[in-house]
Structure 1
């Protein structure tokens, strides 16, 4: 009878035990007592190691871990020093005369960063192996939510775990760990310098100006309205820029990337309901001009399907309806391709009637303007 009562009490105690606590809930410490090396044990540590380390061993582990954290701190400082000792070339500055300097910079940056990360990992490993206790904790899942008593019990268990980990009562190890992490926390901020200056409004403007002629991409041949006399025809065009002091080699690659457009000859009855009167006024004899830069991530939307009047970006299959103001009909793009206003000069050449009314390219390029 006594045995049955004892078993019932043990079962009740097991049911009241909080998830994550050791099986012996009546003990003041969450660490199991000295393990019997002869008992069966299926955990990751041998049975003779499933106990709390002695105070002397914990102190030695604290010193070794702290030493690794100090090494990590010095390596982190070395990374920052190396970064500023061999800074990246500023815009407009000549390239480094000695190529070995660049090699030394890469070696110093990579070596110090690798050492800092390795030392932090080594210190954490020593901390876990020689300071924290080794024992197994298991419990079956209980019904959620937990009762207030269980939450309180778990809070006490958590604080005991934090105490046994050594983080609270080992100030040398804790402070050196925080010290080691400080330079690595600054490293990403410092490396933002490599991203260059803020673009300002450079992405909101292109070379297109009122009265500027258009040329076929890759040539200097100006485009006439008559060059697109067949419905469904398409030409990739760029602004015509004469060689000058400002543009000694003509239009630059950066300017080409922002200003390139698709000229499409649309059938008379093809315009969709989403075309506004303003957009229709920007066309010329059924010819419409859209930015060729996809508004998803900036790939060239270079494919055109005559039958459906769809413009396709081959990178991620964003699809735009040319008959409806280049409205997005499929894919990850979030806004239409900007339309360039067109007109014609006295000689019948197509010219721009101004710049794009909105920024070209992906939406995130225009984040500053939208903000």
Structure 2
């Protein structure tokens, strides 16, 4: 028989629940640090020798503007050295001299400004330390007015407005320092107008088509149906600037069935029995168009996938190119060799340079 417990309730063994309150922490667990570090503040300002001796101050000022003047001399020397020691093609000594004196001038120009500015800040500008709270939001009008005052104080402390020789020499050095870069970058452009140079190639009336790179002339009988030849003008390998000329005159030569060609009026004589020649230079950005699909008669540029239809005068059928590949008018001489009738009738390569 179950017994009634003292609480007046019956409970099976193990079913009694004991409720307890959260423990109250002892007051002894709260620790108040009595030996916390106090803010020591900024160290006392130590006056420099230029602050104590006016003569030393003047000496330091002379050193600063002398460094700035040396910077001006270095920048002008770099420009003069670039003109006085030109690079002569094939002469390694001219390259060494040009690089040496140009580098010395530019180094002197930059080091003069850098060392002069550091020496100025270390010896002449106000040197006491200060701290300032920074806030990410726009300050009040009083704060903004205080900012203007700080700029004025900075001008007075640095002596920029008062030390005229330092100020003027620094401005002169900053103006002279970019001169070598301007001269060098300006000289990267060709001396002559590049537009006529890009509009003309080595192809002339009667120039034979030769294989690239051997320079062997090509007979019309050598070009079989479906074949493709990489072509350069005869005599290209003998030119000193053959790479520059090849970049404009490289041609792809193919033979198709004459009935597959769509010929515009005025171009009927530009091919010979289905043999056509087109510029190898893509009209997008100038990559070599060297992939020929024999079955579809498509020319592909491997750089950006511009695709040209050989059967339709190499018009663009896909990709970013904006105009067809220029066609080279060809014929056959008395010995059966393929020759050019003239130069291209339009500029080869990309069109972006024409926009200027």
Could you state the TM-score of these two structures normalised by the residue count of structure 2?
0.65
Q: Alpha-carbon deviation of 1:111?
A: 2.0
1:229 corresponding residue in structure 2? 224
Q: 3-state SS of the aligned residue for 1:110?
A: helix
Query: Is contact 1:320–1:337 with CA below 8 Å preserved after alignment?
Result: no
Q: Which has the larger radius of gyration?
A: 2
1:182 corresponding residue in structure 2? 175
Q: Alpha-carbon deviation of 1:179?
A: 1.7
Q: Deviations over 1:225-247 (max 9, x none)?
A: x433323x211112335xxxxx9
2:203 corresponding residue in structure 1? 208
CA distance in 2, matches of 1:86, 1:251: 23
Computed over aligned residues only, the root mean square deviation of the Cα atoms, in angstroms, reads 4.4
1:24 corresponding residue in structure 2? none
Listed as ranges, the gaps of 5+ residues in structure 2 are: 1-37
Q: Deviations over 1:141-195 (max 9, x none)?
A: 35xxx99x69975984685376356544443222111222333232134334465
**Cα 1:180/1:235, change in 2 over 3 Å:** same
CA distance in 2, matches of 1:282, 1:119: 65
1:15 corresponding residue in structure 2? none
Alignment match of 1:123 (pick from 97, 116, 119): 116
**Cα 1:335/1:72, change in 2 over 3 Å:** farther
2:234 corresponding residue in structure 1? 240
Matched, 1:330 2:319: yes
CA distance in 1, matches of 2:251, 2:160: 62
Report 1:267-282 matches (<5 A): 277=265, 282=270
Q: 3-state SS of the aligned residue for 1:87?
A: coil
Query: Is contact 1:338–1:360 with CA below 8 Å preserved after alignment?
Result: yes
Matched, 1:320 2:307: yes
1:160 corresponding residue in structure 2? 152
2:255 corresponding residue in structure 1? 265
Q: 3-state SS of the aligned residue for 1:236?
A: strand
Q: Deviations over 1:263-283 (max 9, x none)?
A: 1334668668xx855567644
Query: Is contact 2:160–2:167 with CA below 8 Å preserved after alignment?
Result: yes
Q: 3-state SS of the aligned residue for 1:288?
A: strand
Alignment match of 2:279 (pick from 279, 291, 297): 291
Q: 3-state SS of the aligned residue for 1:327?
A: strand
Aligned residues: 305
Query: Is contact 2:205–2:339 with CA below 8 Å preserved after alignment?
Result: yes
Higher relative contact order, structure no. (Cα contacts within 8 Å, ≥ 6 residues apart):
1
Q: Alpha-carbon deviation of 1:299?
A: 4.1
